[in-house]
């Protein structure tokens, strides 16, 4: 089973320092960690991957310790569409820019690649924080574009920062070309996206924004509020405990979904890429949840 790979890696990582001459106390800790990781991996042996029929062409499920519970094409880079915006958010937050600074949407923020529309018309003004929240929860492309445009050094410097952050996270099968995900040049493997999801968990604003179901903003002085909804419909399902999520879609990427969620009380990282149907990632997610819950019950 693929989880055995995780065990081998952990064995290497923890045994190597002991060979260098650690103290008896340190060796006891290493043995305890090895036992803990082995126990964690053994728990998933009751799950039969052949019984999990996913429609997504690439998928990865990791437990809290990073063991692979299920994987399909895990190291193949693919277009990731708006999953990109998780990286956009981390770069903005890492930069320490003033989040209450007001930014204005301009013609520079329009989508000339796919000609998608937006409810944020030219002149719409919101704080950097609110634009970031809309980019994450509602996948607002002009919001993401404005965040990159107003980054120190502009869009080019921003994309460079995205790729630098990816390297820092060990995303060796990834590259970023724009902040929105509209460019099919935004590529990553499922394993790399799992790394990105786990890194994004360290940002409270990202966790909160990606799990907020609806929000209202007032980008125009003489008009009422605009209401935006989250693109992940699973947030409306009480069977799910979701801690972070992001959806994505362009033709080249298909339907995509990444999540950090609790299933049967266990934290799970889920990556689903290149699904054909609009609802397929959500269907696959429910298949995963039922497969794990049923398998653990024996």
How many CB atoms lie under 10 A from the CB of residue 111? 15
User: Residue with structure tokens 């604003």?
Assistant: 205
- Catalogue all structural domains in the chain, each as residue range(s) with its CATH number: 74-297 (3.40.710.10)
Closest CA to 47 of 279, 244, 263: 263
Structure tokens at 199: 């890194």
Residue among 72, 85, 130, 165 flagged as catalytic: 85
pLDDT for 41 equals 62
Which residue of the set 3, 37, 139, 275 is catalytic?
A: 139
**Which residue, 82, 103, 90, 2, is CA-closest to 45?**
2
In this structure, how many other beta carbons lie within 10 angstroms of the beta carbon of residue 168?
A: 10
Asked if 85 is an active-site residue, the reply is yes
The residue behind tokens 């290493």 is 30
Alpha-carbon gap, residue 258 to 269, rounded angstroms: 8
Catalytic residue among 56, 82, 245, 275: 82
Residues flagged as binding site for substrate: 246
Please confirm, yes or no, whether 82 is among the known catalytic residues.
yes
Q: Which residues of the chain have pLDDT under 50?
A: 1-37
Instruction: Quick: pLDDT tens for 59-80.
Output: 999 999 999 999 999 999 999 9
């Amino acid at each position: 089973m693929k989880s055995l790979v995780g065990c081998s890696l952990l064995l290497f990582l923890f045994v190597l320092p002991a060979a260098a001459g650690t103290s008896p106390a340190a060796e006891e800790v290493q043995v305890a960690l090895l036992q803990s990781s082995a126990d964690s991996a053994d728990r998933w042996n009751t799950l039969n991957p052949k019984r999990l029929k996913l429609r997504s062409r690439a998928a990865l499920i990791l437990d809290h310790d990073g063991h692979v519970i299920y994987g399909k094409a895990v190291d193949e880079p693919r277009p990731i569409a708006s999953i990109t915006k998780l990286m956009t958010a981390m770069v903005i937050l890492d930069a320490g820019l003033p989040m209450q600074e007001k930014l204005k949407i301009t013609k520079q923020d329009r989508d000339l690649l796919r000609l998608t529309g937006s409810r944020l018309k030219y002149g719409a003004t919101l704080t950097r924080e609110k634009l970031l929240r809309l980019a994450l929860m509602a996948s607002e492309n002009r919001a993401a574009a404005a965040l990159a445009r107003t980054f120190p050094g502009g869009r080019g410097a921003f994309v460079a920062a995205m790729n630098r952050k990816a390297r820092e996270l060990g995303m060796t099968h990834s590259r970023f070309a724009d902040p929105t995900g509209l460019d099919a040049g935004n590529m990553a493997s499922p394993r790399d996206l799992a790394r990105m999801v786990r890194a994004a968990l360290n940002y409270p604003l990202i966790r909160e924004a990606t799990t907020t179901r609806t929000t209202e903003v007032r980008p125009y002085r003489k008009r009422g509020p605009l209401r935006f909804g989250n693109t992940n419909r699973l947030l409306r399902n009480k069977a799910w405990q979701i801690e972070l999520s992001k959806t994505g879609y362009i033709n080249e990427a298909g339907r995509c979904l990444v999540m950090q969620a609790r299933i049967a009380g266990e934290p799970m990282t889920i990556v689903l890429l290149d699904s054909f149907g609009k609802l397929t990632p959500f269907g696959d997610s429910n298949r995963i949840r039922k497969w794990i819950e049923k398998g653990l019950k024996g």
